């Protein structure tokens, strides 16, 4: 028998995936302890968007210097976009972080590439990512129904990009792995002003056709002006709720359990309504693709 909290949990998931102009977009915060499945929930929601809304564009912020999570869904669903001048390098952890060409990742090996070209099964070999000079070109080159992994020279550029996306005039989805890297707590200088503007943008997603999903292990690592704009929250085992939430909420979160076979428990909150569901971690590391993005450090102009 399905419980009332489980029914409400499914309603919240349906609302997250709906495209209702009266309700507008969603800002969703996912939090939990290390290993609770935060990134897996991001990937699960991405997969649902691809399935239910294949004509929409998805943009994904991956962490640098760490194995790319997008490969867990499947190489055919991934598209890489790199801002010109970044100097990003893709490196293979399976081979001592040596440089890897994404074209070879896609076609398996140079021998396979040569064979395909010879038999006219593919066009002239070229890397499987695109360079973009600005946001407009990035948008135009992004592919629908795929995960567009975007690489900027600075994580703070994501704030500018999301501001720009508000005006595209169609449904768009942004997924951020570790929001604290984009808008950390206690910003100073120019970053403070940028964060204030970004918090306003996040508060306005409900009035436009943009959905933003992000995760964090510790909510206090994110600027409070931004995190308190999240109208939807997913709590996984080990999550610490914002101080503005009641002790009853934290007590309910403390009762969540991990279960790799049946799924990790979670509480969902949206507009004062609470529901419960399970997320099964089906997105396991692909041993063939332990690839990382490395971006040369640059002077922080926002300090």
Structural domains for the chain: 4-294 (3.40.50.300)
Alpha-carbon distance of 43 to 111, in angstroms, equals 32
Instruction: Please answer whether residues 113 and 24 qualify as being in contact, where contact means their C-beta atoms are separated by less than 8 angstroms.
Output: no
pLDDT at 111: 56
Alpha-carbon distance of 243 to 247, in angstroms, equals 9
Name which of 168, 171, 170, 132 is nearest 150 in CA terms. Answer: 132
pLDDT at 102: 61
Instruction: Please answer whether residues 122 and 268 qualify as being in contact, where contact means their C-beta atoms are separated by less than 8 angstroms.
Output: no
β-bridge partners, 277:
266
* Torsion, Cα of 282, 68, 221, 40 (10° steps): -10
pLDDT at 184: 95
Per-residue pLDDT of the chain (303 residues; tens, 9 = 90+): 788 988 999 999 999 999 988 888 999 999 998 888 899 999 999 999 999 999 999 999 999 888 888 888 877 788 899 999 888 888 877 676 666 666 555 444 555 545 555 555 444 334 467 889 999 999 999 999 999 999 999 999 999 999 999 999 899 999 999 999 999 999 999 999 999 999 999 999 988 899 999 999 889 999 999 999 998 999 999 898 887 778 888 888 888 888 877 788 899 999 889 999 988 877 777 676 678 888 887 765 555
**How many CB atoms are located within 10 Å of the residue 67 CB?**
17
Give the global pTM.
0.88
Instruction: Please answer whether residues 8 and 266 qualify as being in contact, where contact means their C-beta atoms are separated by less than 8 angstroms.
Output: no
């Amino acid at each position: 028998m399905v419980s009332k909290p489980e029914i409400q949990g499914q309603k919240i998931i349906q609302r997250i995936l709906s495209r209702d102009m009266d309700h507008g977009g969603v800002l969703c915060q996912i939090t939990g302890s290390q290993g609770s499945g935060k990134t897996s929930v991001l990937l699960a929601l991405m997969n649902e968007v691809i399935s239910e809304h294949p004509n929409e564009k998805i943009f994904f912020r991956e962490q640098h210097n760490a194995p790319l999570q997008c490969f867990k869904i499947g190489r055919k669903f991934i598209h890489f976009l790199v801002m010109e001048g970044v100097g990003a390098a893709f490196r293979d952890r399976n081979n001592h972080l040596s440089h890897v060409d994404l074209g070879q990742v896609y076609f398996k090996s140079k021998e396979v590439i040569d064979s395909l070209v010879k038999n006219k099964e593919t066009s002239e070999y070229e890397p499987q990512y695109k360079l973009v000079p600005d946001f407009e070109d990035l948008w135009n080159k992004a592919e629908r129904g795929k995960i567009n992994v975007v690489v900027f020279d600075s994580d703070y550029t994501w704030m500018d990009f999301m501001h720009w996306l508000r005006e595209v005039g169609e449904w768009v989805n942004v997924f951020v792995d570790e929001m604290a890297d984009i808008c950390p707590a206690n910003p100073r200088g120019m970053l403070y002003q940028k964060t204030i503007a970004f918090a306003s943008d996040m508060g306005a997603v409900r009035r436009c056709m943009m959905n933003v999903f992000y995760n964090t292990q510790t909510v206090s690592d994110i600027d409070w002006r931004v995190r308190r704009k999240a109208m939807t929250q997913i709590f996984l085992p080990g999550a610490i709720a914002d101080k503005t939430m009641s002790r009853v909420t934290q007590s309910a979160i403390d009762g969540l359990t991990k279960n790799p076979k049946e799924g990790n428990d979670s509480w969902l909150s949206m507009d004062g309504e609470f529901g419960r569901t399970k997320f099964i971690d089906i997105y396991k590391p692909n041993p063939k693709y332990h690839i990382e993005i490395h971006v040369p450090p640059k002077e922080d102009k926002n300090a």
